[in-house]
Amino acid sequence: MFNPNTFLRLLTIVLLGNLLSVGTGWAAADTPKQDLAKLQQVYRSLHSLRFDFTQVTRTRMRARKGRGTAIFLRTGNNGEKGIMRWNYTEPDPQVILNDGANLTIYTPKDHQLLVTSAAQLNNDITYSFFSGKKNLADEFIPQAPNTRYLFNADGSTLHALRLIPKKPHPQIQAVQIWFDNHYLIRHLVLEDPFASITELTFSDIETNTIDGKDSKAVQEILHLNLPPETEILHQ
């Protein structure tokens, strides 16, 4: 089963926190701090985000690969609420859904639905970023990228940024981000304190194609087609 803590770490980067009043559009003179501020502005201003992803998680003993699609949608009158759904197709089908109230993980192979209260996650620093309660600049030191990591996207000019937690963090040792001239993230590497590395690559990115006030669209994202024999577990 996919680790929900890893899922929350992804939200840290893909759905950055509070809006900062700076202009967007990459410039060669930008510092890492300015790049981080612009990344936050771009992602905080999005109404919806859809993308395909590939994932590789490497530990000292093995490598685990995955792929699928994901959707983020801001809802509510002022976009103050949000829904995030990850649809894994490999290595096994799995849905990870955060509707703002619950974090739900459905694994068809196991005939199980795991439900955790999102309210219990508020103390997690990564979930706080997603909810907009914290500013990444308050928690991370933006730096120039580490040259040990290389990534190229065909036909795209990419820029890189590295984030180091200001205080020791149980889940994150460092994050390296690659983004294009529009400040859309195309690739990221997450290092944890246990020498595990997760790489994610994003493609076919679509922004603001879904209306958060469209009740039908919202219900389609929230819907889980559960067979009658599905076991529902609450944590």
HSE-CB for 159 with a 13 A CA cutoff: 21
Sheet containing 159-165: order of strands: 140-143, 159-165, 174-179, 185-191, 197-207, 48-58, 63-75, 81-90, 94-98, 102-107, 112-117, 231-234
Enumerate the β-bridge partners of residue 102: 117
Nearest to 96 by CA among 113, 79, 81: 113
Q: What is the pLDDT of residue 2?
A: 43
3-state secondary structure of 119: helix
List average pLDDT for each run of 10 residues in the chain, which is 235 residues long: 47 46 55 88 84 91 92 76 88 90 92 85 50 70 91 82 89 89 89 90 92 91 94 92
Q: What is the pLDDT of residue 68?
A: 95
3-state secondary structure of 129: helix
Would you state the structure tokens that stand for residue 77, as one six-digit string? 């009158």
Q: What is the pLDDT of residue 78?
A: 65
Enumerate the β-bridge partners of residue 175: 163, 190
Q: What is the pLDDT of residue 174?
A: 92
Q: What is the pLDDT of residue 18?
A: 43
CATH of domain 4-234: 2.50.20.10
The owner of tokens 């609450």 is 234
What residues does each domain of the chain span?
A: 4-234
Q: What is the pLDDT of residue 107?
A: 95
What CA–CA distance (Å, rounded) separates 202 from 52?
6
Q: What is the pLDDT of residue 136?
A: 78
Cis ω on the peptide bond leading into residue 32 (within 30° of 0)?
no
Q: What phi, psi does 7 have (nearest 5°)? A: -55, -45
